[in-house]
Amino acid sequence: MLHEVGLHARPSVRLTQLAKSFASRIEFGPSNEGPWTDVKSIVKVMKTKTPKDALLYFRAEGADAQAAVSALIALIERDFETEA
Amino acid sequence: MVLLKGTPVAPGLAVGPLVCLAGVVQVARARGSRGDERDALAAAIGAAREELAAIAARAGNADEEGIVAFQIELLEDAELAGPAYAAIDAGEAADTAWRAAMGLQIDDYQSSDSEYFRARAADLRDLCDRVLGRLSGDTAEAIPQGAIVAADDLAPSRFLATDWSNGGLVLHRAGATSHVAILARARGVPMLVGVDSAQLGGHSQALLDAQNGTLILDPDPDTRQAFDRRRTTYALQQVADARYLEKEARTGSGERVQVMINVARPDDVGTLDPAHVDGIGLVRTEFLFHDRDRLPDEEEQYRVYSRLLQWAAGKPVTIRTLDAGGDKPIPGLTRERESNPFLGVRGVRLSLRHPQVLSVQLRALARAAVDTNLKVMIPMVTLPEELERCRALLVRAVAELAAEGVPAALPKLGMMVEVPAAALAVEEFAAHFYSIGSNDLIQYLSAASRDEPELASVALPGTGFLRVVRSICEHGSREGREVSLCGDLASDPLQIRALLDCGLRTLSVAPAALAAVKAAIAKC
């Protein structure tokens, strides 16, 4: 999580909106054993209060799972800026 | 006439009728069948969503859009209202169920140890009230244009629904990072926080000064006239000054003056273009220690410092070591109940009593100094030994890092000149640079507290102060050491001529004052 203040309002909106554009079930968590959070729910995403520099694990299940995870990671890596 | 102090979070001056907003009046709703209550809540959420979409369509900038988008996203998340529907199924009325469900979430944000997450409680309160308003059929009273609005807190969507031309805002609870403060800065609405709204009853006219942080209620005619003159000048000045922002600062005769900025928190550089500044003349590091139960570790500090250096892109960045105490208490570090905190264990006096805290900061600074133009500044130095002890700790930090194989460099070490004893004997200090802290130096020279509004006319930069500044500048130019001034004085366009006359050629100012200071320099 590179964003200056962690996963707060604006980054969370971008994350959930992008997640909702995929059919797969997508979750993230603080370790590869969870606890897992539904990325499509902003209420749940904000509840994690993920700080800056936290390491996040993503997992997805569905037809476009691979594409979904790649897209979400790319969003975080470009610091939540919309694609040019 | 009543004068109240507050903290400016968005600059400007405004005058107008005082409008005090009450919180949402809570009227219990007559309860229908479970099906009716479910439908009522669903309809209210849908209507609130449409209201927000309409506000989003009118949003004037990215900040406004982002804040409304967050609220819409929350309303569209079935998770938000889930507990409310469950409570309805258990027999609650729609409004009670909604308020209870939102109350839990608001409390959750409110109890966060991060200021950013705590500030989001206001967004949820806003949503909660908007849906409650739809449930009861109420809409909030309209805020008249051109008013000075006072309230405990203000919902971001309510801010956006108001015409703020010539108006201003005074809040009790909101902070500088609240959404409403971000919106006020983006829209240019003067705003103060920390003013107790309970003190405001019974007054009709208000002068809001978000330059000096005062709210004057029912002013006498002279005060009112003086304020109006300042307002006119301020408005004309802003238009004229804007042309100087992008230019290098030069006096009328073409002499170059370095104009840097003061940074109190990393967001301060926000939208500012580094090309418009000559560097950062003061980074206050107290923000790293605020609102938390443990001190920031080396890694976290290193990243914050590196980010600022990266922003400055090779221009000098002067980072001041922790300047706690005085008016900047830090729980667990500064002393409680000192009889006179401004003359107490503060600044370097405190840091040298906690060398383990100072050393962590110096290690982070030494790491950030690799291949950058970082300078380290020590606050509240009174004796040469204090500076030398800091230097020894800094040298040791660099040596330790080298031994650990961690890249580090020895940054230039300078000092704040704010204690009269040091200011009058500046030649005794082997500092690479001197930065005059005018706020404290004036208060100590004039023996007048800077927090006492009644002494504002005593705590002025008079002949004595200017003479001291001149002698520091003379020493600096003899020895070839940089002298700058980083106090509030440098941000005041009316003081620029006097400061340049003393020989100062480097000023560090509040980011919002950049254009005005450059414009004032051009007129000298």
- Distance, in Å, from the CA atom of B67 to the CA atom of B76, rounded to the nearest integer, reads 15
Mean pLDDT of chain B: 88
B299 and B427 fall within a common domain:
yes
B327 and B464 fall within a common domain:
yes
CATH topology classification for A9-77: Histidine-containing Protein; Chain: A; (3.30.1340)
Whether the pLDDT of residue A21 is over 80: the answer is yes
B177 and B263 fall within a common domain:
no
Domain membership of residue B82 (yes or no) is yes
B104 and B196 fall within a common domain:
no
B306 and B421 fall within a common domain:
yes
Which residue among B184, B209, B236 closes a domain?
B236
Which chain B residue is nearest to residue A40, measuring alpha carbons?
B77
**Tokens representing B489?**
């004085």
**B318 interface with A at CB cutoff 8 Å:** no
Q: N- to C-terminal Cα distance for chain A?
A: 20
Residue B336 burial (CB < 10 Å; 0-12/13-18/19+)?
Answer: exposed
CA distance A70 to chain B (A): 22
- Distance, in Å, from the CA atom of B394 to the CA atom of B390, rounded to the nearest integer, reads 6
Please indicate whether, in this complex, the C-beta atoms of A43 and B77 are within 8 angstroms of each other: yes
In the DSSP assignment, the letter for residue B200 is G
CA distance A79 to chain B (A): 14
Q: With left for phi above 0 and alpha for psi between -120 and 50, is residue B435 left, alpha or beta?
A: beta
**B116 interface with A at CB cutoff 8 Å:** yes
**B117 interface with A at CB cutoff 8 Å:** yes
Task: Please report, for chain A, the start and end positions of each structural domain, with discontinuous segments joined by +.
Answer: 9-77
Total Cβ atoms within 10 A of residue B337: 5
Residues B477-492 have pLDDT tens digits of 999 999 999 988 898 8
Residues in chain B closer than 8 A to A51 (CB atoms): 114
User: What is the per-residue pLDDT for B168?
Assistant: 95
In the DSSP assignment, the letter for residue B175 is -
Residues in chain A closer than 8 A to B108 (CB atoms): 47
Reported as half-sphere exposure (CB side, CA atoms, 13 A), residue B231 has a value of 18
B62 and B191 fall within a common domain:
no
Q: For residue B302, what pLDDT band results from cuts at 50, 70 and 90?
A: very high
User: What is the per-residue pLDDT for A30?
Assistant: 86
Count how many domains chain B has. Answer: 3
Residues B104-161 have pLDDT tens digits of 888 888 888 777 778 888 888 888 988 888 887 655 667 888 899 998 888 777 787 7
Domain membership of residue B348 (yes or no) is yes
pLDDT greater at residue B105 or residue B452? B105
Look up residue B423 and give its amino acid. Answer: A
Please indicate whether, in this complex, the C-beta atoms of B73 and A17 are within 8 angstroms of each other: yes
Domain membership of residue B28 (yes or no) is no
**Tokens representing B152?**
């405990």
Whether the pLDDT of residue B434 is over 80: the answer is yes
Minimum-distance CB partner of B69 among A13, A46, A53: A13
CA distance A78 to chain B (A): 16
Which residue among B136, B162, B193 closes a domain?
B136
A62, β-bridge pairs: none
ipTM of the modeled complex: 0.84
User: What is the per-residue pLDDT for B138?
Assistant: 58
Which residue among B236, B251, B284 closes a domain?
B236
pLDDT greater at residue B410 or residue B127? B410
Residue B90 burial (CB < 10 Å; 0-12/13-18/19+)?
Answer: exposed
* Residue B486 annotated in active site: yes
User: What is the per-residue pLDDT for B253?
Assistant: 95
Please indicate whether, in this complex, the C-beta atoms of A41 and B79 are within 8 angstroms of each other: yes
B150 and B291 fall within a common domain:
no
Q: Do B47 and B94 contact (CB within 8 A), yes or no?
A: no
Q: For residue A84, what pLDDT band results from cuts at 50, 70 and 90?
A: very low
Residues in chain B closer than 8 A to A79 (CB atoms): none
Residues B306-331 have pLDDT tens digits of 999 999 999 999 999 999 887 777 87
pLDDT greater at residue B28 or residue B361? B361
CA distance A66 to chain B (A): 24
**Tokens representing B349?**
């006096």
B113 and B148 fall within a common domain:
no
Alpha-carbon distances, residue B259 vs B256, B315, B409, B495 (angstroms):
9, 12, 26, 14
**A41 interface with B at CB cutoff 8 Å:** yes
Residue B399: give its domain's CATH number.
3.20.20.60
Domain membership of residue B29 (yes or no) is no
B406 and B368 fall within a common domain:
yes
Domain membership of residue B110 (yes or no) is yes
Instruction: Give the pTM.
Output: 0.60
Total Cβ atoms within 10 A of residue B284: 18
Q: Do B372 and B407 contact (CB within 8 A), yes or no?
A: no
B409 and B292 fall within a common domain:
yes
Q: Do B117 and A49 contact (CB within 8 A), yes or no?
A: yes
User: What is the per-residue pLDDT for B66?
Assistant: 80
Domain membership of residue B467 (yes or no) is yes
Domain membership of residue B455 (yes or no) is yes
Please indicate whether, in this complex, the C-beta atoms of A17 and B70 are within 8 angstroms of each other: no
Residues B56-72 have pLDDT tens digits of 887 777 777 788 888 89
Residue to test with chain B: of A7, A10, A50, most B Cβ within 10 A: A10
User: What is the per-residue pLDDT for B367?
Assistant: 98
Alpha-carbon distances, residue B133 vs B57, B68, B101, B127, B140 (angstroms):
21, 17, 16, 10, 8
Least confident of B41-45, B172-176, B188-192, B397-401: B172-176
Least confident of A50-59, B8-17, B68-77: A50-59
Give the three-class secondary structure for B217: strand
User: What is the per-residue pLDDT for B29?
Assistant: 64
Which chain A residue is nearest to residue B270, measuring alpha carbons?
A4
Minimum-distance CB partner of A44 among B70, B79, B112: B79
B185 and B124 fall within a common domain:
no
Of these residues, B179, B203, B473, B502, which one is catalytic? B179
Enumerate long-range contacts of A34-39, CB under 8 Å, 24 or more apart.
A39/A15, A39/A72
Q: Do B415 and B373 contact (CB within 8 A), yes or no?
A: no
Please indicate whether, in this complex, the C-beta atoms of B73 and A51 are within 8 angstroms of each other: no
CA distance B126 to chain A (A): 14
B128 and B151 fall within a common domain:
no
Q: Region B186-199: what's the mean pLDDT?
A: 83
Q: For residue B27, what pLDDT band results from cuts at 50, 70 and 90?
A: low
Residue with tokens 């403060």: B181
Residue with tokens 């998770």: B79
Residue with tokens 């405004």: B14
Among all residues of A, which ones are annotated catalytic?
8
Q: For residue B25, what pLDDT band results from cuts at 50, 70 and 90?
A: very low
- CB pairs < 8 Å spanning A and B: 51
Q: For residue B520, what pLDDT band results from cuts at 50, 70 and 90?
A: very high
Give the three-class secondary structure for B61: coil
User: What is the per-residue pLDDT for B174?
Assistant: 72
Q: Do B169 and B184 contact (CB within 8 A), yes or no?
A: yes
Please indicate whether, in this complex, the C-beta atoms of A6 and B69 are within 8 angstroms of each other: no
Q: Do B203 and B1 contact (CB within 8 A), yes or no?
A: no
**B79 interface with A at CB cutoff 8 Å:** yes
- Distance, in Å, from the CA atom of B200 to the CA atom of B434, rounded to the nearest integer, reads 44
In chain B, which among 282-311 make CB contacts under 8 A with chain A?
A: 300, 303, 307
Q: With left for phi above 0 and alpha for psi between -120 and 50, is residue B91 left, alpha or beta?
A: left
**B77 interface with A at CB cutoff 8 Å:** yes
**A1 interface with B at CB cutoff 8 Å:** no
Domain limits at B14?
Answer: 2-23+141-236
Whether the pLDDT of residue B291 is over 70: the answer is no
